[in-house]
Structure 1
Amino acid sequence: MSKDQQSIPKTKTIYLIRHGETDFNRQGIVQGSGVDSDLNELGQAQAEAFFKQYHHITFDKVYTSALKRTHQSVRKFLEKGLPWEQHEGLNEISWGVREGKVPNDIDNEYYKILIDSWVSGKVDMPSEGGESPIDVINRQKPVIDLIISRPHEETILVAMHGRAIRILLTLLLERGLHEMDTFEHANLCLYKLVYDYEKAKFFVELENDLSHLSELNID
Protein backbone atom coordinates (compact mmCIF):
# COMPACT_ATOMS: atom_id res chain seq x y z
CA MET A 1 0.00 0.00 0.00
CA SER A 2 1.37 3.43 -0.97
CA LYS A 3 1.71 6.34 1.46
CA ASP A 4 -1.08 8.13 -0.42
CA GLN A 5 -3.40 5.17 0.08
CA GLN A 6 -2.49 5.00 3.77
CA SER A 7 -3.31 8.71 4.20
CA ILE A 8 -6.84 8.42 2.85
CA PRO A 9 -9.25 8.62 5.81
CA LYS A 10 -11.36 5.54 6.52
CA THR A 11 -14.35 7.47 7.82
CA LYS A 12 -16.18 10.74 7.27
CA THR A 13 -18.15 12.48 10.01
CA ILE A 14 -21.21 14.51 9.02
CA TYR A 15 -22.88 16.98 11.36
CA LEU A 16 -26.33 17.32 9.77
CA ILE A 17 -28.52 20.11 11.10
CA ARG A 18 -31.92 21.54 10.35
CA HIS A 19 -32.09 25.33 10.02
CA GLY A 20 -33.17 27.49 12.94
CA GLU A 21 -36.68 28.77 13.48
CA THR A 22 -38.36 31.23 11.09
CA ASP A 23 -41.57 33.17 11.62
CA PHE A 24 -43.22 30.82 9.13
CA ASN A 25 -42.25 27.86 11.35
CA ARG A 26 -43.76 29.61 14.35
CA GLN A 27 -46.97 30.41 12.48
CA GLY A 28 -47.31 26.90 11.07
CA ILE A 29 -47.01 28.12 7.48
CA VAL A 30 -45.45 25.73 4.97
CA GLN A 31 -42.26 27.13 3.44
CA GLY A 32 -40.95 24.37 1.20
CA SER A 33 -38.42 25.38 -1.42
CA GLY A 34 -40.47 28.28 -2.75
CA VAL A 35 -40.34 30.52 0.34
CA ASP A 36 -36.86 31.90 1.05
CA SER A 37 -37.43 33.11 4.60
CA ASP A 38 -35.05 34.50 7.22
CA LEU A 39 -34.39 33.17 10.69
CA ASN A 40 -36.35 34.94 13.40
CA GLU A 41 -34.87 36.05 16.73
CA LEU A 42 -35.18 32.59 18.24
CA GLY A 43 -33.71 30.99 15.12
CA GLN A 44 -30.69 33.26 15.37
CA ALA A 45 -30.29 32.35 19.04
CA GLN A 46 -30.47 28.65 18.12
CA ALA A 47 -27.75 29.14 15.51
CA GLU A 48 -25.62 30.99 18.06
CA ALA A 49 -26.12 28.20 20.62
CA PHE A 50 -25.09 25.54 18.11
CA PHE A 51 -21.99 27.55 17.18
CA LYS A 52 -21.09 27.98 20.86
CA GLN A 53 -21.28 24.20 21.37
CA TYR A 54 -19.48 23.13 18.19
CA HIS A 55 -17.17 26.00 17.17
CA HIS A 56 -14.17 23.92 18.29
CA ILE A 57 -14.86 21.20 15.70
CA THR A 58 -12.46 21.40 12.75
CA PHE A 59 -14.90 21.29 9.87
CA ASP A 60 -13.28 20.81 6.49
CA LYS A 61 -16.27 22.20 4.62
CA VAL A 62 -19.79 23.49 5.10
CA TYR A 63 -22.60 22.37 2.78
CA THR A 64 -26.01 24.05 2.71
CA SER A 65 -29.10 24.22 0.58
CA ALA A 66 -29.54 27.25 -1.67
CA LEU A 67 -32.05 28.80 0.76
CA LYS A 68 -30.88 31.54 3.09
CA ARG A 69 -32.36 30.11 6.28
CA THR A 70 -29.68 27.40 6.07
CA HIS A 71 -26.97 29.97 5.29
CA GLN A 72 -27.98 32.03 8.32
CA SER A 73 -27.94 28.94 10.53
CA VAL A 74 -24.21 28.40 9.85
CA ARG A 75 -23.20 32.07 9.44
CA LYS A 76 -20.76 32.06 12.35
CA PHE A 77 -18.93 29.07 10.87
CA LEU A 78 -18.74 30.75 7.47
CA GLU A 79 -17.36 33.90 9.10
CA LYS A 80 -14.43 31.76 10.27
CA GLY A 81 -13.54 31.38 6.59
CA LEU A 82 -14.54 27.75 6.21
CA PRO A 83 -14.99 26.49 2.63
CA TRP A 84 -18.68 26.51 1.70
CA GLU A 85 -20.82 25.02 -1.04
CA GLN A 86 -24.54 25.48 -1.51
CA HIS A 87 -26.55 22.99 -3.55
CA GLU A 88 -30.15 23.22 -4.73
CA GLY A 89 -30.21 19.45 -4.43
CA LEU A 90 -30.31 19.95 -0.64
CA ASN A 91 -33.31 22.30 -0.78
CA GLU A 92 -36.51 21.56 1.07
CA ILE A 93 -39.19 19.61 -0.76
CA SER A 94 -41.44 21.77 -2.93
CA TRP A 95 -44.92 21.69 -1.45
CA GLY A 96 -46.30 23.36 -4.58
CA VAL A 97 -49.23 25.77 -4.73
CA ARG A 98 -49.83 25.87 -0.97
CA GLU A 99 -46.42 27.22 0.01
CA GLY A 100 -46.37 30.49 1.92
CA LYS A 101 -50.07 30.44 2.80
CA VAL A 102 -51.80 30.23 6.13
CA PRO A 103 -53.16 26.67 6.05
CA ASN A 104 -56.91 26.29 6.51
CA ASP A 105 -58.79 23.12 7.43
CA ILE A 106 -58.89 22.02 3.79
CA ASP A 107 -55.12 22.48 3.44
CA ASN A 108 -54.44 20.56 6.64
CA GLU A 109 -56.60 17.69 5.45
CA TYR A 110 -54.80 17.77 2.08
CA TYR A 111 -51.38 17.48 3.76
CA LYS A 112 -52.60 14.66 5.99
CA ILE A 113 -53.87 12.65 3.01
CA LEU A 114 -50.66 13.33 1.07
CA ILE A 115 -48.34 12.26 3.89
CA ASP A 116 -50.49 9.23 4.69
CA SER A 117 -50.12 8.26 1.03
CA TRP A 118 -46.35 8.50 1.31
CA VAL A 119 -46.34 6.40 4.49
CA SER A 120 -48.41 3.77 2.68
CA GLY A 121 -45.71 3.54 0.01
CA LYS A 122 -46.95 5.96 -2.68
CA VAL A 123 -43.70 7.94 -2.54
CA ASP A 124 -43.92 8.93 -6.20
CA MET A 125 -47.02 11.04 -5.49
CA PRO A 126 -46.18 14.77 -5.72
CA SER A 127 -47.89 17.60 -3.94
CA GLU A 128 -50.05 19.77 -6.20
CA GLY A 129 -47.58 21.78 -8.29
CA GLY A 130 -44.68 20.43 -6.23
CA GLU A 131 -42.43 17.42 -5.71
CA SER A 132 -42.73 13.84 -4.54
CA PRO A 133 -40.25 12.23 -2.11
CA ILE A 134 -38.82 10.35 -5.09
CA ASP A 135 -38.16 13.67 -6.83
CA VAL A 136 -36.32 14.94 -3.77
CA ILE A 137 -34.18 11.85 -3.23
CA ASN A 138 -33.22 11.88 -6.92
CA ARG A 139 -31.79 15.39 -6.59
CA GLN A 140 -30.17 14.67 -3.22
CA LYS A 141 -28.27 11.60 -4.38
CA PRO A 142 -25.79 13.40 -6.71
CA VAL A 143 -24.87 15.77 -3.87
CA ILE A 144 -24.31 12.89 -1.44
CA ASP A 145 -22.28 11.03 -4.05
CA LEU A 146 -20.15 14.17 -4.44
CA ILE A 147 -19.65 14.46 -0.68
CA ILE A 148 -18.67 10.79 -0.36
CA SER A 149 -16.24 11.16 -3.27
CA ARG A 150 -14.23 13.64 -1.17
CA PRO A 151 -12.71 11.47 1.58
CA HIS A 152 -10.21 14.13 2.61
CA GLU A 153 -13.10 16.25 3.86
CA GLU A 154 -13.10 14.18 7.03
CA THR A 155 -15.54 16.29 9.02
CA ILE A 156 -18.28 18.37 7.42
CA LEU A 157 -21.28 20.43 8.48
CA VAL A 158 -24.47 20.15 6.43
CA ALA A 159 -27.45 22.49 6.94
CA MET A 160 -30.78 21.46 5.45
CA HIS A 161 -34.54 21.32 6.04
CA GLY A 162 -36.98 19.13 7.96
CA ARG A 163 -38.70 17.06 5.29
CA ALA A 164 -35.54 16.98 3.18
CA ILE A 165 -33.59 15.57 6.14
CA ARG A 166 -36.20 12.88 6.71
CA ILE A 167 -35.94 11.87 3.06
CA LEU A 168 -32.14 12.01 3.07
CA LEU A 169 -31.84 9.80 6.14
CA THR A 170 -33.73 7.00 4.41
CA LEU A 171 -31.12 7.17 1.65
CA LEU A 172 -28.11 7.30 3.95
CA LEU A 173 -29.34 4.59 6.31
CA GLU A 174 -30.73 2.33 3.57
CA ARG A 175 -34.30 2.51 4.82
CA GLY A 176 -37.48 2.45 2.78
CA LEU A 177 -38.51 5.93 1.67
CA HIS A 178 -41.96 5.33 3.16
CA GLU A 179 -40.25 5.20 6.58
CA MET A 180 -39.15 8.85 6.43
CA ASP A 181 -41.53 9.98 9.16
CA THR A 182 -39.84 7.73 11.70
CA PHE A 183 -37.04 10.32 11.81
CA GLU A 184 -37.86 13.14 14.21
CA HIS A 185 -36.58 16.67 13.72
CA ALA A 186 -36.78 20.09 15.34
CA ASN A 187 -35.37 23.49 14.46
CA LEU A 188 -31.56 23.41 14.78
CA CYS A 189 -31.54 19.73 15.70
CA LEU A 190 -28.41 17.69 15.04
CA TYR A 191 -27.93 14.31 13.43
CA LYS A 192 -24.32 13.15 13.68
CA LEU A 193 -23.47 10.46 11.16
CA VAL A 194 -20.29 8.57 10.32
CA TYR A 195 -19.60 7.11 6.90
CA ASP A 196 -17.34 4.04 6.87
CA TYR A 197 -15.51 3.91 3.54
CA GLU A 198 -14.50 0.26 3.93
CA LYS A 199 -18.06 -0.87 4.64
CA ALA A 200 -19.63 1.81 2.41
CA LYS A 201 -22.25 2.43 5.10
CA PHE A 202 -23.52 5.27 7.25
CA PHE A 203 -23.98 4.94 11.01
CA VAL A 204 -25.83 7.30 13.36
CA GLU A 205 -24.10 8.61 16.49
CA LEU A 206 -26.63 11.31 17.46
CA GLU A 207 -30.27 11.56 16.43
CA ASN A 208 -32.38 14.74 16.62
CA ASP A 209 -30.04 15.98 19.35
CA LEU A 210 -31.03 19.28 20.97
CA SER A 211 -28.67 19.33 23.94
CA HIS A 212 -26.89 22.42 22.56
CA LEU A 213 -30.15 24.35 22.93
CA SER A 214 -30.66 23.47 26.60
CA GLU A 215 -29.89 27.00 27.83
CA LEU A 216 -32.45 28.66 25.56
CA ASN A 217 -35.86 29.53 26.96
CA ILE A 218 -38.05 28.02 24.25
CA ASP A 219 -41.81 28.38 24.64
Structure 2
Amino acid sequence: MVEVYIIRHGETDTNKEKRINGNSTDLPLNEKGRKQANQLREVFDLSDFDEVISSPLIRAYETAQILTENTGIEVKTDVRLREADYGSWDGVSEEKLYKEHPEVFDDNGYLLPDYIKYAQDAENYEDVYQRVDDILNEISQLGDNKKVALVCHGFISRALMKVIMNIDDISKIIQPRNCGVSRYRLNKDGKRYLIYYGRKTPLEF
Protein backbone atom coordinates (compact mmCIF):
# COMPACT_ATOMS: atom_id res chain seq x y z
CA MET A 1 0.00 0.00 0.00
CA VAL A 2 0.94 3.64 -0.43
CA GLU A 3 0.71 5.97 2.56
CA VAL A 4 -0.70 9.34 1.50
CA TYR A 5 -0.66 12.40 3.73
CA ILE A 6 -2.84 15.35 2.69
CA ILE A 7 -1.69 18.70 4.09
CA ARG A 8 -3.66 21.92 3.85
CA HIS A 9 -1.56 25.05 3.37
CA GLY A 10 -0.95 27.62 6.11
CA GLU A 11 -3.07 30.72 6.58
CA THR A 12 -3.26 33.52 4.01
CA ASP A 13 -4.79 36.97 4.32
CA THR A 14 -7.85 35.83 2.39
CA ASN A 15 -8.35 33.05 4.95
CA LYS A 16 -8.01 35.56 7.77
CA GLU A 17 -10.44 37.98 6.13
CA LYS A 18 -12.93 35.16 5.39
CA ARG A 19 -12.93 35.63 1.66
CA ILE A 20 -13.43 32.94 -0.96
CA ASN A 21 -9.94 31.53 -1.37
CA GLY A 22 -9.84 29.76 -4.71
CA ASN A 23 -7.58 29.23 -7.68
CA SER A 24 -7.39 32.92 -8.58
CA THR A 25 -6.44 34.18 -5.11
CA ASP A 26 -2.82 33.19 -5.54
CA LEU A 27 -1.37 34.78 -2.41
CA PRO A 28 1.60 33.83 -0.20
CA LEU A 29 1.26 32.74 3.39
CA ASN A 30 0.88 35.49 5.96
CA GLU A 31 2.95 35.60 9.15
CA LYS A 32 0.61 33.25 10.98
CA GLY A 33 0.60 30.84 8.04
CA ARG A 34 4.40 30.63 7.98
CA LYS A 35 4.38 30.04 11.74
CA GLN A 36 1.83 27.24 11.31
CA ALA A 37 3.98 25.55 8.66
CA ASN A 38 7.11 25.83 10.80
CA GLN A 39 5.28 24.40 13.82
CA LEU A 40 4.10 21.48 11.72
CA ARG A 41 7.63 20.83 10.44
CA GLU A 42 8.87 20.50 14.05
CA VAL A 43 6.62 17.49 14.69
CA PHE A 44 6.06 16.08 11.20
CA ASP A 45 9.27 14.81 9.59
CA LEU A 46 9.08 14.47 5.80
CA SER A 47 12.70 13.40 5.37
CA ASP A 48 11.79 9.75 4.71
CA PHE A 49 9.01 10.48 2.23
CA ASP A 50 9.38 9.24 -1.33
CA GLU A 51 7.55 12.19 -2.88
CA VAL A 52 6.17 15.57 -1.86
CA ILE A 53 3.75 16.95 -4.42
CA SER A 54 2.25 20.42 -4.11
CA SER A 55 -0.41 22.49 -5.74
CA PRO A 56 1.37 25.10 -7.87
CA LEU A 57 -0.42 27.93 -6.06
CA ILE A 58 1.94 30.03 -3.95
CA ARG A 59 0.36 29.33 -0.56
CA ALA A 60 0.61 25.56 -0.98
CA TYR A 61 4.06 25.56 -2.57
CA GLU A 62 5.44 27.86 0.14
CA THR A 63 4.01 25.52 2.79
CA ALA A 64 5.66 22.55 1.07
CA GLN A 65 9.00 24.36 0.89
CA ILE A 66 8.91 25.07 4.62
CA LEU A 67 7.99 21.47 5.44
CA THR A 68 10.81 20.03 3.32
CA GLU A 69 13.51 22.45 4.45
CA ASN A 70 16.80 20.61 5.07
CA THR A 71 15.32 17.27 3.97
CA GLY A 72 16.88 17.18 0.50
CA ILE A 73 13.47 16.44 -0.99
CA GLU A 74 12.53 18.26 -4.19
CA VAL A 75 8.94 19.48 -4.14
CA LYS A 76 7.06 18.56 -7.30
CA THR A 77 3.95 20.42 -8.43
CA ASP A 78 0.77 19.11 -10.03
CA VAL A 79 -2.01 21.35 -11.37
CA ARG A 80 -4.60 18.77 -10.36
CA LEU A 81 -4.01 19.80 -6.73
CA ARG A 82 -4.80 23.49 -7.32
CA GLU A 83 -7.77 24.86 -5.41
CA ALA A 84 -11.21 24.91 -7.01
CA ASP A 85 -11.73 27.87 -9.33
CA TYR A 86 -14.61 29.90 -7.94
CA GLY A 87 -14.59 32.22 -10.92
CA SER A 88 -15.99 35.70 -10.27
CA TRP A 89 -16.49 34.80 -6.59
CA ASP A 90 -12.78 34.30 -5.91
CA GLY A 91 -11.58 36.82 -3.33
CA VAL A 92 -15.10 38.03 -2.50
CA SER A 93 -16.25 38.31 1.12
CA GLU A 94 -18.09 35.18 2.28
CA GLU A 95 -20.43 37.35 4.34
CA LYS A 96 -21.38 39.42 1.30
CA LEU A 97 -22.08 36.35 -0.81
CA TYR A 98 -24.11 34.71 1.97
CA LYS A 99 -26.35 37.78 2.22
CA GLU A 100 -26.94 37.71 -1.54
CA HIS A 101 -27.22 33.92 -2.07
CA PRO A 102 -27.80 32.06 1.23
CA GLU A 103 -29.28 29.12 -0.66
CA VAL A 104 -25.86 28.07 -2.02
CA PHE A 105 -24.23 27.75 1.42
CA ASP A 106 -24.57 24.63 3.55
CA ASP A 107 -25.06 24.51 7.33
CA ASN A 108 -21.32 24.90 7.94
CA GLY A 109 -20.90 27.87 5.62
CA TYR A 110 -19.36 25.99 2.68
CA LEU A 111 -20.42 26.52 -0.90
CA LEU A 112 -22.82 23.96 -2.34
CA PRO A 113 -22.21 22.62 -5.87
CA ASP A 114 -24.93 24.79 -7.43
CA TYR A 115 -23.04 27.99 -6.57
CA ILE A 116 -21.98 27.87 -10.23
CA LYS A 117 -25.44 29.17 -11.14
CA TYR A 118 -24.29 32.57 -9.92
CA ALA A 119 -20.48 32.64 -10.02
CA GLN A 120 -19.24 33.35 -13.54
CA ASP A 121 -16.58 31.06 -15.04
CA ALA A 122 -16.61 28.85 -11.94
CA GLU A 123 -15.42 25.26 -11.81
CA ASN A 124 -17.90 22.43 -11.48
CA TYR A 125 -17.30 20.29 -8.39
CA GLU A 126 -17.54 17.10 -10.45
CA ASP A 127 -14.52 18.24 -12.45
CA VAL A 128 -12.59 18.74 -9.21
CA TYR A 129 -13.51 15.25 -8.00
CA GLN A 130 -12.31 13.79 -11.30
CA ARG A 131 -8.90 15.47 -11.22
CA VAL A 132 -8.17 14.47 -7.64
CA ASP A 133 -9.31 10.91 -8.37
CA ASP A 134 -6.88 10.83 -11.30
CA ILE A 135 -3.90 11.74 -9.14
CA LEU A 136 -4.93 9.25 -6.45
CA ASN A 137 -5.08 6.46 -9.02
CA GLU A 138 -1.57 7.32 -10.18
CA ILE A 139 -0.18 7.44 -6.65
CA SER A 140 -1.74 4.08 -5.76
CA GLN A 141 0.48 2.44 -8.39
CA LEU A 142 3.80 3.68 -6.97
CA GLY A 143 4.44 0.46 -5.08
CA ASP A 144 4.31 -0.96 -1.59
CA ASN A 145 5.59 0.99 1.41
CA LYS A 146 5.81 4.29 -0.43
CA LYS A 147 5.05 7.53 1.44
CA VAL A 148 3.68 10.54 -0.41
CA ALA A 149 2.68 13.97 0.88
CA LEU A 150 0.21 16.13 -1.06
CA VAL A 151 0.22 19.80 -0.07
CA CYS A 152 -2.95 21.46 -1.22
CA HIS A 153 -6.06 23.38 -0.15
CA GLY A 154 -9.17 23.29 1.99
CA PHE A 155 -11.71 22.26 -0.61
CA ILE A 156 -9.24 19.92 -2.26
CA SER A 157 -8.68 18.22 1.11
CA ARG A 158 -12.44 17.75 1.37
CA ALA A 159 -12.69 16.54 -2.23
CA LEU A 160 -9.92 14.00 -1.64
CA MET A 161 -11.75 12.73 1.45
CA LYS A 162 -15.00 12.46 -0.52
CA VAL A 163 -13.39 10.52 -3.34
CA ILE A 164 -11.26 8.24 -1.15
CA MET A 165 -14.11 7.31 1.18
CA ASN A 166 -16.82 7.40 -1.51
CA ILE A 167 -18.94 9.87 0.47
CA ASP A 168 -22.10 10.89 -1.36
CA ASP A 169 -22.34 14.51 -0.18
CA ILE A 170 -19.30 16.74 0.35
CA SER A 171 -21.31 18.84 2.82
CA LYS A 172 -20.79 15.98 5.28
CA ILE A 173 -17.05 16.77 5.34
CA ILE A 174 -15.69 19.62 7.45
CA GLN A 175 -12.71 21.53 6.10
CA PRO A 176 -9.42 20.86 7.93
CA ARG A 177 -7.80 23.84 9.59
CA ASN A 178 -4.74 25.47 8.05
CA CYS A 179 -1.81 23.02 8.15
CA GLY A 180 -4.17 20.22 9.15
CA VAL A 181 -2.95 16.77 8.08
CA SER A 182 -4.96 13.78 6.90
CA ARG A 183 -3.60 10.28 6.34
CA TYR A 184 -4.82 7.53 4.02
CA ARG A 185 -3.69 4.21 2.57
CA LEU A 186 -4.14 3.39 -1.10
CA ASN A 187 -4.03 -0.14 -2.46
CA LYS A 188 -3.12 -1.01 -6.05
CA ASP A 189 -6.44 -2.80 -6.46
CA GLY A 190 -8.39 0.38 -5.76
CA LYS A 191 -9.10 -0.08 -2.06
CA ARG A 192 -8.67 3.07 -0.01
CA TYR A 193 -8.51 3.56 3.75
CA LEU A 194 -8.76 6.50 6.13
CA ILE A 195 -6.29 6.60 9.05
CA TYR A 196 -7.07 10.09 10.36
CA TYR A 197 -8.36 13.44 9.11
CA GLY A 198 -7.38 17.05 9.73
CA ARG A 199 -4.93 16.58 12.61
CA LYS A 200 -3.10 19.64 13.97
CA THR A 201 0.05 20.05 16.02
CA PRO A 202 1.17 19.02 18.59
CA LEU A 203 -0.57 15.70 17.94
CA GLU A 204 1.61 12.75 16.98
CA PHE A 205 1.72 11.96 13.28
Question: What TM-score does the superposition give when structure 2 sets the normalisation length?
Answer: 0.85
Question: CA–CA distance in 1 between the matches of 2:101 and 2:187?
Answer: 37
Instruction: Decide whether the 8 Å contact of 2:98 with 2:105 is kept in 1.
Output: no
| Corresponding letter in the other structure for 1:193 | Y
Match of 1:35?
25
**How many matched pairs?**
198
Question: CA–CA distance in 1 between the matches of 2:124 and 2:53?
Answer: 23
Task: Note closer, same or farther for the CA distance 1:61–1:153 as it changes in structure 2 (3 Å cut).
Answer: farther
Match of 1:171?
163
Instruction: Decide whether the 8 Å contact of 1:15 with 1:190 is kept in 2.
Output: yes
Q: 1:47 aligns with which of 37, 41, 47?
A: 37
Higher-Rg structure is 1
Question: CA–CA distance in 1 between the matches of 2:130 and 2:25?
Answer: 21
Instruction: Decide whether the 8 Å contact of 1:124 with 1:135 is kept in 2.
Output: no
**Aligned-residue CA RMSD (Å):** 2.6
Q: 1:16 aligns with which of 6, 28, 33?
A: 6
Q: 1:205 aligns with which of 186, 189, 195?
A: 195
Q: 1:88 aligns with which of 79, 82, 100?
A: 79
Question: CA–CA distance in 1 between the matches of 2:101 and 2:34?
Answer: 28
Question: CA–CA distance in 1 between the matches of 2:17 and 2:84?
Answer: 19
Match of 2:121?
129
| Corresponding letter in the other structure for 2:173 | T
Question: CA–CA distance in 2 between the matches of 1:125 and 1:134?
Answer: 13
| Corresponding letter in the other structure for 1:163 | F
Give aligned-pair identity as a percent.
21
Match of 1:72?
62
Match of 1:182?
173
Task: Note closer, same or farther for the CA distance 1:125–1:43 as it changes in structure 2 (3 Å cut).
Answer: closer
Question: CA–CA distance in 1 between the matches of 2:101 and 2:74?
Answer: 38
Q: 1:149 aligns with which of 138, 141, 146?
A: 141
1:186 is displaced (CA, Å) by 0.7
Match of 2:109?
none
| Corresponding letter in the other structure for 2:192 | F
Pairing 1:84-123 to 2, within 5 Å after superposition: 84-103=75-94, 105=96, 107-110=97-100, 112-116=102-106, 123=113
**Partner secondary structure for residue 202 of structure 2:** helix
Deviating above 4 A after TM superposition, structure 1's stretches of 4 or more consecutive aligned residues are: 122-125
Question: What TM-score does the superposition give when structure 1 sets the normalisation length?
Answer: 0.80
| Corresponding letter in the other structure for 1:50 | L
